[in-house]
Structure 1
């Protein structure tokens, strides 16, 4: 057994995106804060409508996937394909931008709490120009693995083993479509003084993001709103002093050059120029 340890800590920084939505960004603050194939991780969390009501009006993407996980709130996705999807408490939207998608994500509430995450996952060069697609996954379709009276794991994607129990997320479980990065996405909720042991593929890059409480991995203490990049290994052990909640993310690295310009993520400057031209010409999302 090789236990994963913390190799780097990335505190989340306050910023805004879209039309002024306030959020905290850990991965993606700069090119140096990516972790292949993970490009960006944002947390949005506010009880103040002014922080989120402007939402994310129509904007393009090309070359990667977005995963939006809504803990609390109601957001409507609409795109150029005519799709509409309502994202509500505990739900997930998994969107593959591929060749191109033009969409909006707008709050459908005028008051109350909006809380959740958006993760960007890169696509390999051979898959960047595939047709765009997306799926909405309601909370009642996402498996929960009970670990104890006070602890559980919400299994969004991937296959792993937690405390000697097989754990299969909705993506790779009910939705059997394969993804070349083989992503694992788990929301771990630990009770006070409890721990969890994960078996993760040794060829996967992995990280955690703490969004409630604090935890310990090895001899490293991790505070609230902190991402931690993990070493290689086949086992991850997370311990909580008080109750804690954190995201466990792992995926097979791509190992290709990354050139990003805002919402476009490609492998070369020429491909970025082509994406900009396609967007200007109105053919970004046309095969």
Structure 2
């Protein structure tokens, strides 16, 4: 038997600019959106104009959260204070656990289209001081 649940809120998102000038649609993470714990933020991005995203997200800190970036189309390079480096391409994902703290950058590369999303998840209090970590999830590991 399938349990049916009723939607309590429809969220359309708002146009926003973040990082060094990246144009995106913020679905979760605005003041008027609540009740999505543990999800803190959800951004979607879709552009065929590199000027909308090319300046990326230069070095910045995170703590106590996990970020998951899923890329449908495009290319994003990651670097962090642990020495991790990675690149995700079409249909790939990156997962970063900020834990006790990490400084990182995500820098998109010019491509025909940049399409994807990023989700921020609040870590449970008991896990917030865990060691930070980073990993790419390549196409061959993505379950469709």
TM-score (norm 2): 0.95
CA distance in 1, matches of 2:38, 2:61: 20
> What is residue 129 of structure 1 aligned with on the other side?
129
CA distance in 1, matches of 2:122, 2:58: 22
Question: Structure 1 pair 34/104, CA: closer, same or farther in 2 (3 Å)?
Answer: farther
Residues 139-150 of structure 1 mapped to structure 2, 5 A cutoff: 139-144=139-144
> What is residue 63 of structure 2 aligned with on the other side?
62
Gaps of 5+ in 2: none
Could you report, residue by residue, the CA deviation over 1:211-257 in whole angstroms, capped at 9, with x for unpaired residues?
xxxxxxxxxxxxxxxxxxxxxxxxxxxxxxxxxxxxxxxxxxxxxxx
CA distance in 2, matches of 1:34, 1:85: 33
- Asked if 2 retains the 8 angstrom alpha-carbon contact of 1:73 and 1:115, the reply is yes
- Asked if 2 retains the 8 angstrom alpha-carbon contact of 1:77 and 1:106, the reply is yes
Q: Quick check: 1:16 aligned with 2:17?
A: yes
Q: CA deviation at 1:108?
A: 2.5
Gaps of 5+ in 1: 145-287
CA distance in 2, matches of 1:31, 1:82: 37
- Asked if 2 retains the 8 angstrom alpha-carbon contact of 1:96 and 1:133, the reply is yes
Could you report, residue by residue, the CA deviation over 1:117-148 in whole angstroms, capped at 9, with x for unpaired residues?
0000111111001110011001121122xxxx
CA distance in 2, matches of 1:81, 1:134: 9
CA distance in 2, matches of 1:60, 1:31: 25
Could you report, residue by residue, the CA deviation over 1:6-52 in whole angstroms, capped at 9, with x for unpaired residues?
11111110001100100001111126435011111000110001000
CA distance in 1, matches of 2:39, 2:32: 11
TM-score (norm 1): 0.48
SS in 2 for 1:10: coil
CA distance in 1, matches of 2:141, 2:130: 26
Higher RCO, 1 or 2 (CA under 8 Å, sep at least 6)? Answer: 2
CA distance in 2, matches of 1:133, 1:71: 23
- Asked if 2 retains the 8 angstrom alpha-carbon contact of 1:27 and 1:34, the reply is no
How many residue pairs were aligned?
143
SS in 2 for 1:9: coil
SS in 2 for 1:8: coil
Which runs of structure 1 show a deviation greater than 2 angstroms over 4 or more consecutive aligned residues? 31-34
> What is residue 41 of structure 2 aligned with on the other side?
40
Q: Which has the larger radius of gyration?
A: 1
CA distance in 2, matches of 1:30, 1:10: 12
